[in-house]
């Protein structure tokens, strides 16, 4: 399976109905890490890995979902969709259907074939791409328009409420609203956003460290608690500070001594990261790539040293990148403690860059990294 035509043909063979086909991309975050729950800014990019959803109506009142990647089918009564998760892939499309139904969109009998090439569980948000592909396909089948920001919110609710994963809004938002050759600066406070161009001469090289340290789960909660503590202490001096989004470096300078050291460092990361993220968008808007690169380097240092959410392998991957021709900027992306680094690289050198980075990483760590060469791509849309 590689394209929409092939998926449409397989769908037609299986369900004897010609489908409409929709695509929703995965994503990588260029800059703005752990700023979402501080009501701050993030700047993700939709990538050219996507989940496709082929959809057609059916007369028997059944909802039949087929996952091409797994070769598995699930079938339900459209009037009695399951109310509890089953713990497998079907939770994502079903969660979306339940949330849509709860919003008053009656789910008709339908056949839905899903297929995707977003690597699963690598931090490129295959889950959001499945949700957004499902929601977009159902909206298409129903002939209703659901605005991108709202559709993203509904998909996030599916993941929070049905799947049971405590994710922010970023992944679904960029999958629904991304634009080709652009990054998207999202204000997580009010979901307003701005597109910033990525020049044609630039590639995204996503390097999977192939490690994910198991402390990640517990540390996430600790980081959030530290961020909230720092926020409460600053707010006791300046009540306008509802989230760290509202705080400044000079607030930290004045009252930072009152905050325990670890929490103070986490706060410094969030506060400076917010500023860097907005500055990076402005730099992209004036085509100032060297500033974007510098901000990515600073973001990595802050994530590693102040937020302490990197790991030896990710630091190595970022350090190795500095020595390779073509690099504009590199940093660890995603929740931390492993996962992928994102590298902005001059397009003409991107292939060689990726090969050299993989080779350097292998000799430094013994690990064979997966490399993905991506371009900034369009958000969810109809393909066929
Ligand atoms: P990530 O979103 O970082 O890729 P998650 O653990 O959040 O990782 O989501 C991965 C899960 O999403 C998979 O285990 C699977 O259940 C579901 N999923 C992803 N892609 C597909 C697909 N093409 N078809 C069906 N389910 C998928
Ligand atoms: Mg996910």
95-135 residue pLDDT tens: 999 999 999 999 999 999 999 999 998 889 999 999 999 99
Q: Which of 272, 287, 372 is nearest to 48 (CA)?
A: 372
pLDDT of residue 1: 65
Tokens (6 digits) for 217: 């789960």
**Residue % of the chain over a pLDDT of 70:** 100
How far, in Å, from the CA of 173 to the mean position of ligand 2?
13
User: By alpha-carbon position, which residue is closest to atom 26 of ligand 1?
Assistant: 89
- Residues 278-311 have pLDDT tens digits of 999 999 999 999 999 999 999 999 999 999 999 9
Place of tokens 């297929």: 115
How far, in Å, from the CA of 290 to the mean position of ligand 2?
31
How far, in Å, from the CA of 175 to the mean position of ligand 1?
14
pLDDT of residue 253: 97
How far, in Å, from the CA of 89 to the mean position of ligand 1?
6
CB 49 less than 6 A from any atom of ligand 1: no
177 in a structural domain: yes
276 in a structural domain: no
174 in a structural domain: yes
pLDDT of residue 2: 76
CATH number at residue 150: 3.30.230.10
**Residue % of the chain over a pLDDT of 90:** 95
Which H helix or E strand runs over 365? helix 350-365
30 in a structural domain: yes
26 in a structural domain: yes
Among 51, 113, 120, 206, say which to mutate for ligand 1: greatest number of ligand atoms within 8 Å of CB.
120
183 in a structural domain: yes
pLDDT of residue 328: 98
* Residues belonging to the active site: 171
- Residues 32-60 have pLDDT tens digits of 999 999 999 999 999 999 999 999 999 99
pLDDT of residue 73: 98
70 in a structural domain: yes
- Residues 330-365 have pLDDT tens digits of 999 998 999 999 999 999 999 999 999 999 999 999
Number of the ligand 1 atom closest to the C-alpha atom of 119: 4
- Residues 211-227 have pLDDT tens digits of 998 877 788 889 999 99
Report the number of distinct structural domains present in the chain: 1
123 in a structural domain: yes
Among 10, 68, 123, 126, say which to mutate for ligand 1: greatest number of ligand atoms within 8 Å of CB.
126
CB 37 less than 6 A from any atom of ligand 1: no
CB 243 less than 6 A from any atom of ligand 1: no
In whole angstroms, what is the distance from residue 294 CA to residue 278 CA?
14
pLDDT of residue 375: 95
CB 89 less than 6 A from any atom of ligand 1: yes
CB 341 less than 6 A from any atom of ligand 1: no
Average pLDDT of 315-324? 98
How far, in Å, from the CA of 56 to the mean position of ligand 1?
22
Number of the ligand 1 atom closest to the C-alpha atom of 334: 3
How far, in Å, from the CA of 126 to the mean position of ligand 1?
5
Number of the ligand 1 atom closest to the C-alpha atom of 89: 16
pLDDT of residue 214: 81
pLDDT of residue 99: 98
CB 291 less than 6 A from any atom of ligand 1: no
| DSSP assignments along 129-173, one per residue | HHHHHHHHHHHHHHT----HHHHHHHHHHIIIIII-----SHHHH
* Residue-number span of the structural domain to which 37 is assigned: 4-197
pLDDT band with cut points at 50, 70 and 90 for residue 65: very high
In whole angstroms, what is the distance from residue 40 CA to residue 187 CA?
6
**How far, CA to CA in Å, does 315 sit from each of 121, 225, 262, 322, 361?**
21, 25, 20, 11, 11
Residue 155 confidence (pLDDT) above 70? yes
Q: Are 341 and 314 in contact (CB under 8 A)?
A: yes
CB 114 less than 6 A from any atom of ligand 1: yes
CB 324 less than 6 A from any atom of ligand 1: no
């Amino acid at each position: 399976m590689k394209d929409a035509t092939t998926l449409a043909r397989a769908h037609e063979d299986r369900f004897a109905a010609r489908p409409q086909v929709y695509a929703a991309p995965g994503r990588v975050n260029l800059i703005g890490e752990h700023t979402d729950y501080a009501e701050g800014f993030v700047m993700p990019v939709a990538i050219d890995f996507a989940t496709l959803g082929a959809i057609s109506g059916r007369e028997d009142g059944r909802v039949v979902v087929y996952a091409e990647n797994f070769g598995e089918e699930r079938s339900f009564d459209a009037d009695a969709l399951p109310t509890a998760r089953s713990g497998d892939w079907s939770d994502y499309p079903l969660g979306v259907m339940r949330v849509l139904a709860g919003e008053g969109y009656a789910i008709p009998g339908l056949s839905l074939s899903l297929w995707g090439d977003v690597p699963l569980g690598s931090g490129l948000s295959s889950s959001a791409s499945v949700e957004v592909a499902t929601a977009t396909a159902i909206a298409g089948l129903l002939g209703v328009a659901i605005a991108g920001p709202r559709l993203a919110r509904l998909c996030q609710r599916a993941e929070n409420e049905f799947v049971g994963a405590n994710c922010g809004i970023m992944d679904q938002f960029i999958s629904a609203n991304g634009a080709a050759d652009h990054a998207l600066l999202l204000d997580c406070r009010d979901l307003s956003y701005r597109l910033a161009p990525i020049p044609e001469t630039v590639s995204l090289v996503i390097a999977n460290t192939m490690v994910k340290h198991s402390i990640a789960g517990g540390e996430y909660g600790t980081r959030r608690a530290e961020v909230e503590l720092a926020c409460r202490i600053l707010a006791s001096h300046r009540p306008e500070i509802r989230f760290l989004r509202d705080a400044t470096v000079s607030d930290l300078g004045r009252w930072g001594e009152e905050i325990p050291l670890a929490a103070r460092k986490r706060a410094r990361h969030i506060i400076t990261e917010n500023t860097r993220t907005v500055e990076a968008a402005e730099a992209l808007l004036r085509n100032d790539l060297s500033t974007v690169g510098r901000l990515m380097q600073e973001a990595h240092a802050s994530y590693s040293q102040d937020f302490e959410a990197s790991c030896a392998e990710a630091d190595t991957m970022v350090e190795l990148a500095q020595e390779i021709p073509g690099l504009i900027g590199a940093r660890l992306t995603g929740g931390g403690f492993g996962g992928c680094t994102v590298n902005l690289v001059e397009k003409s050198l991107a292939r060689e860059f990726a090969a050299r980075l993989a080779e350097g990483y292998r000799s430094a760590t013994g690990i064979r990294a997966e490399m993905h060469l991506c371009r900034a791509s369009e958000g969810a849309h109809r393909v066929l």
